[in-house]
Amino acid sequence: MERTLIGLSRMTRSQKVVLNTRRTLIYIILTILALLCLFPVFEVITNMTRSTGAIATSIGFWFGDKLVENWTGTFARTSFRMDKAIMNSLIVAFASATLSTYFSALTAYGLQVYNFKGSRAIFTFILVIMMIPTQVSAVGFVDMMTKMGAKNTLWPLFIPSICSPVVFFYMKQYMESVLPMEMIEAARVDGASEIRIFHQMILPIIVPAIAVQFIFAFVGSWNNLLVPSLLLDGGPNFQTIPIVVAAFNDRSNPQTFDLGQVYVVIFLAIIPLLVIYLFCSRFIIKGMTEGSVKG
């Protein structure tokens, strides 16, 4: 910091002008890019307040007067229950993100710390599973759940998240770069159990990785349409947000199709994602800051 201040004090007037000009241009460009990224969100908010005809004919640069009508019409649908869909999606997304991050971190810790015969084969097998698309295994999974009588229940949507190869691979790679083996060995000498070491020593170290993967897992589960649409077909009480969004966006029936209500549903679907990101991002920033200070 002191070197930077000394360097700035030795700069000539023309050099300072050039530096300030470059910074101003960078800030202007970044501001424009931020506004471009936020414009779609602004469009969703403004279209919530407009009629179907206005949305279809022009871009909404300002708010309309149909917010109450669109909002009440969205929750008045008898074939859909927005409150139930939001609750179902929250349960599934939170459970999926929690199970996938915790058990993937636990598995990655076991393969990283213990050198046993077959560990390389297990790691390779998990990578092979990671390459199989969800669409390939969805048919067999739905058939198995049907035979088990698990259709129109929520647990088949988040229990399989315990085995998440993508999250495991990320955790494994992260642990390879930050895991302090000397500290683990010292804890073992002091008599700490492996479970205690994992929960009290390892988890605090990998909080940034857990936060990142929690966000990704939550968003992936929240936006998942394929498997819920195959398993949940029991009516309004067995729906998630993606199913409701797809149903509201069905243009086959002009009498029930309403673009204003579609944007209300999209807005409601975005809010939990923003909350989760804002909540978890502070752990990511905190972890990066602590790492830079300790390093």
**Which domain CATH number covers 185?**
1.10.3720.10
Let me know whether 127 and 13 are in one domain: no
In a domain, 135, yes or no: yes
Let me know whether 178 and 236 are in one domain: yes
In this prediction, residues 101-114 reach a mean pLDDT of: 88
125 Cβ contact list (under 8 Å, min separation 6) = none
pLDDT (tens digit per residue) in 143-172: 888 888 888 888 888 888 888 888 888 888
pLDDT (tens digit per residue) in 2-37: 455 455 556 677 777 888 888 999 999 999 999 888
**Verdict on whether the full-model pTM lies above 0.75:** yes
Q: How far apart are CA 295 and CA 289, in angstroms?
A: 10
Let me know whether 136 and 12 are in one domain: no
Residue with tokens 């990785």: 209
User: Of 119, 130, 202, which is closest to residue 167 (Cα–Cα)?
Assistant: 130
Let me know whether 27 and 80 are in one domain: no
In this prediction, residues 224-249 reach a mean pLDDT of: 82
Reduce the secondary structure of 153-206 to three states and give it as a string.
CCHHHHHHHHCCHHHHHHHHHHHHHHCCHHHHHHHHHCCCCHHHHHHHHHHHHC
Q: What's the structural domain count of the chain? A: 2
Question: Residue 209 has which token pair?
Answer: 């990785």
In a domain, 67, yes or no: no
Let me know whether 103 and 26 are in one domain: no
